[in-house]
Amino acid sequence: MRRFVLLGHKAPITPEFTLNDLPGGAGRLDLLCRGIGAAFFLSHDLRRDVETVILLQDQVQIRFIGNKLKRLNPDERSTAALIKHALEKLGEEEVQSTPGIFIAPRTLPMVLDRLYQEGAHPIVLHEEGIPIDPFSIPTNPVFFLSDHQEFSPSDEETLASLPRLSLGKRALHTSQCITIVHYLLDRRDDDTQADLVLCHKVWGEPKALLIKGLLEDCGLPANLVMHVPPSILPINVDGLSEVRIMVHERDLPRARDIITDYFEQPAEE
Ligand SMILES: C[S@@+](CC[C@H](N)C(=O)[O-])C[C@H]1O[C@@H](n2cnc3c(N)ncnc32)[C@H](O)[C@@H]1O
C-alpha cells in the first residue's frame, strides 16, 4: 500500500465555500484535489492500493481509500464537491460520507499515530531532503507533503524525527511530486519482479519470511515464491511447501553470504 498525506493549511474546514473559486476563496483546494487525482488516477483506471489523506488546517482529516472509492472523477471540481459533501457530514466520530471517503476531526500527531499503528513508514518529502533512492524506500511507505505553503512550525515539530527525502532542488507542485513518487516506485516494483534469480530454497513460509527479513534488513530486496514442481503436490508429507527466495542477480553473492553466516549453506540451483 502506498499512502500520501497532504497538509492543507488554508483549505476550508466547513462546507460554506463555492466550487467556483477553489484557488481563492477555498484556500487552494484545487491543489489538494489535483494531489488526490495524481495519487489515484491512471488512464481509464484507479490505483486501488493507495490511501490519500488530506488534513485541513490541522483539524479535519479526510481519507480516500482506493479499494473502496466510488464516484471519484479526474476533474478537480467534482473532487471538491465530494470534499464539500464530506464536510457537511463532519461530526465527533469518523464517518463515511461517500463510498471510500471518510471524515473525522484529527490533528497531525493523531494522523501520524494511526499510520504507525497500521505499520506504515512515514517519510517527509522536501526539496532540501536527502536525494530519494527508490530502492531504499521501505514497504508500506506514507509520504507527507505540504500544499502551496511551507510546512508550518507545528508541522515541522511533529515531523522532525522522520526521514526527509528530496526529488531535486526545484520546488515542485504537490501533485507533480506524487506522480514522480508513483513513477519511481512503479519502476522499482517492476524491476523487483524482473531479473530475480534463485538464492535459496527452504521448506515452510516462517523460515522463508525470516530470511527475507534478514536480507531486507541488510538492504537487499527479496521475493518469496511458493514452488510447485510439475506433477507433484505443492505440499510435502510434513505439510510444508517449498519456498524459493529470489533476489536480484546483482545481490546474489552478498545474499548467499548473509544466509550462510546466519543459517546454513545456500542451496545451489
Ligand atoms: C509547492 S511545494 C511547497 C512550497 C514550496 N516549499 C515553496 O515555498 O515554494 C509543495 C510540497 O511538495 C513537496 N515538494 C515540492 N518540491 C519538492 C522536491 N523537490 N522534493 C521533495 N518534495 C518536494 C513538499 O512536500 C512541498 O511542501
Q: What is the pLDDT of residues 10-25, one digit of tens each?
A: 999 999 999 999 999 9
Task: Answer yes or no: is 267 within a domain.
Answer: no
* Predicted model pTM: 0.77
3-state helix, strand, coil split of the chain in percent (to 5) is 35, 30, 40
Q: 35-44, 86-95, 207-216: which has the minimum mean pLDDT? A: 207-216
The verdict on the CB of residue 7 being under 6 Å from ligand 1 is no
Q: For a substitution probing ligand 1, which of 9, 176, 177 has the most ligand atoms within 8 Å of its CB?
A: 177
To which residue does cell 516506485 refer?
185
Assess whether pLDDT exceeds 50 at residue 252.
yes
Report whether residue 176 contacts ligand 1, using a CB cutoff of 6 Å: no
Task: Evaluate the CA torsion angle 28, 29, 33, 38 in order and state its sign.
Answer: positive
What's the confidence (pLDDT) of residue 224? 86
Residues contacting 233, CB < 8 A, separation 6+: none
How far apart (Å, rounded) are the C-alpha atoms in residues 112 and 101?
18
By the 8 A CB rule, do 84 and 65 touch?
no
- Ligand 1 centroid, distance to 121 Cα (angstroms): 20
Beta carbon of 52 within 6 Å of any ligand 1 atom: no
Average pLDDT of span 171-192: 92
CA of 7 to the centre of ligand 1 (A): 11
Which CATH number do you get for residue 153? 3.40.1280.10
- Inform me whether the pLDDT recorded for 267 exceeds 90: no
Pocket test for ligand 1, best of 4, 5, 127, 174 (most atoms within 8 A of CB): 127
Answer yes or no: is pLDDT of 164 > 60: yes
Alpha-carbon span 99 to 127, nearest angstrom: 35
Residues 140, 67 within the same domain = yes
Per-residue pLDDT of 106-139, as tens digits, reads 999 999 999 999 999 999 999 999 999 987 898 8
- Overall domain count for the chain: 2
Q: Out of 169, 191, 213, pick the residue that ends a domain.
A: 191
Question: How much is the pLDDT for 130?
Answer: 95
For residue 238, the domain's CATH number is 3.30.70
Residues 208 and 187 in one domain: no
Q: Are residues 52 and 176 in the same domain?
A: yes
Q: Which domain holds residue 242?
A: 195-262
Q: Is the CB of 164 under 6 A from ligand 1?
A: no
Mean pLDDT throughout 210-219? 90
Q: Are residues 40 and 109 in the same domain?
A: yes
**221 and 247 fall within a common domain:** yes
On the question of pLDDT at 235 being above 70, the answer is: no
Assign 232 a pLDDT band (cuts: 50, 70, 90): very low
Whole-number average pLDDT of the chain? 91
Please tell me whether residues 207 and 153 are part of one structural domain: no
Asked if pLDDT for residue 79 goes beyond 90, the answer is yes
Whether residues 213 and 177 share a domain: the answer is no
DSSP 12: -
Residues 244 and 136 occupy one common structural domain: no
pLDDT(227) > 70: no
Task: Check pocket membership of 159 for ligand 1, CB cut-off 6 A.
Answer: no
